[in-house]
Amino acid sequence: MNNLAITDAIRDAEASVLGGCLLRPAVLRDLELEVEDFADHRHKVVFMAMRNLEANSGAIDVVTLENEIQQLGKLDAVGGIAFLGELALRVPTTDNVHAYAKLVRDWHLRRRVYLAAGAIVRLAEDMTINGEELLAELTQRASEIDGLKPDAVSSIGDLARRRFADIERFAREQAAGKRPLSGAPTGVTSLDAKTGGWQFGIVNLIAARPGMGKSALAMATADASSAAGFGAHVFTLEDSWHAYTDRGFARSSGVSQTKIRRAELEREDIAAVTHALVRMVQRTNWLVDDRGSLSAIEIVRAVRRAATKNGTRVVVVDYLNLVRRSPRISENEALGQLMQTFAEAAKADDMAYVVLAQLNRDLEKRVDKRPTLPDLRGSGEIEEKCKLAVGLYRGAYYGGKPRRDVDYECDCPEAAKVCAHTPSLEDWETQVQLLIMKGGNGPTGRVWGTWDGPTTRIS
């Protein structure tokens, strides 16, 4: 295709769609077409009139259509009653209307791509625009075209049946002594018990300062979810696949990352890593993408390409602040756009997006360094788009001694002289707090997990 000329074939397909709707108006309800999908202006007017009549539950025939177009003041523009009569004679049967509609929509998408490509070429010739700005503009335009999807609707009865099947499954699991989850497992039992797992259809956020265990929790999620049969797709934007795989070996084998990275392995270490290899090789539904500088829409597209074969239900983005964003807008606005893209994809594809986010350095200046939602970089936009947010905190990371109001696994008042819940130094070193800062439709609060420093395993 070297131009945007409307061919006779496209005009015929559009006219056949309209003619089919005149012959059998009921077919209009099933068409996934909008006015802008038509290339010929006359066809746009006629289809708009049809949609107007449909919306008002009016009969659709040549007479009512003529009257509606007359009220729009466009009857002469389309060629009058004679043109409508010609449309009614276009097709001898309505059986092929959906095939014609598919051709019309396909051509519309081609036109959109053609126009977008031309605009990008013109921008590329403008030497005042740098490469990053050009790439951001290309991604944005591609995202807009990708968003041209037909509506997907279901009756409340169908939705109720689907949801009741979940409720029945929860009941069976509970009767069997299992802990039912409404989402995908996080890899931390105490967190699963509080949240029901990472929830599908939303953005789930993991937020913390460096060294607190964000990536460790993300790996626990991928490990547990893939083991449970939920395909996991991980985007490790900071670490290479080498570093990510070493962390996987350490988590699964119990051998420290340092020993694996330096190849300082004794006989028993090699045996443990070999067993870990066997387990990891079996996880064919755990995908890892270590390409850096991906945009949000590139991540979504990669997920969708692999989803059918992989059975993907969990997407991990490690981490948000490294996703490529437009340099033309503020950081807060850009992060909000990224989160919006992930939120829309999670809802459309019924997946749990687990997005990691960095916290502001100002947190380090406080006496109580446990994270809160306002500590998020670009907090307003990120907080608004995520539905479930979990912060991580390890008091031992900062040294000193456990403090009653921060590090004790109890709610004893600070003024109490004696508290039996004081953690031992060993317990404190392995203690990690998971603070549910935003629970969606569930509870907030904190739960406790275990941290293993040499393997950076969280559980």
The architecture that CATH gives domain 158-458 is 3-Layer(aba) Sandwich (3.40)
Q: How confident is the model at residue 95 (pLDDT cuts 50, 70, 90)?
A: low
Q: What is the pLDDT of residue 372?
A: 86
Residue 222 has pLDDT above 90, yes or no: yes
**pLDDT at residue 264 above 70?**
yes
pTM to 2 decimal places: 0.67
Question: Taking 80 as the threshold, does the pLDDT of residue 88 lie above it?
Answer: no
Q: How many helices (H) and strands (E) does the chain have?
A: 18, 9
Buried-exposed string 155-187: b where 16+ CB fall within 10 A, e elsewhere: eeeeeeeeeeeeeeebeeeeeeeeebbbbbbbb
At residue 195, does pLDDT exceed 50?
yes
pLDDT surpasses 60 at 152: no
Residue in 226, 236, 181, 209 with CA at minimum distance from that of residue 357: 209
Q: Which residue has the higher pLDDT, 394 or 171?
A: 394
Which residue from 184, 292, 268 is spatially nearest to 232, judged by alpha carbons? 184
pLDDT in tens, 380-431: 678 777 888 999 998 888 887 887 778 777 767 665 556 667 777 777 788 8
User: What is the rounded CA–CA span in Å between residue 399 and residue 395?
Assistant: 7
- Domain boundaries in the chain? 8-146, 158-458
Tokens describing residue 231 = 């395909």
pLDDT class of 218 with cuts at 50, 70, 90? very high
Alpha helices in 28-125 (DSSP H): 41-55, 62-71, 75-78, 80-88, 97-124
Q: Could you give the percent of the chain with pLDDT greater than 70?
A: 90
- β-pairing, 312-318 with 352-358? parallel
CB 362 within 8 A of CB 325: no
Cross-sheet strand order for the sheet of 286-289: 286-289, 231-236, 312-318, 352-358, 203-208, 388-393, 431-439, 445-452, 457-458
**Same-fold call for 8-146 versus 158-458:** no
Is 257 strand, coil or helix?
helix
Topology (CATH) of 8-146: DNAb Helicase; Chain A (1.10.860)
323 in Cβ contact with 294 (< 8 Å): yes
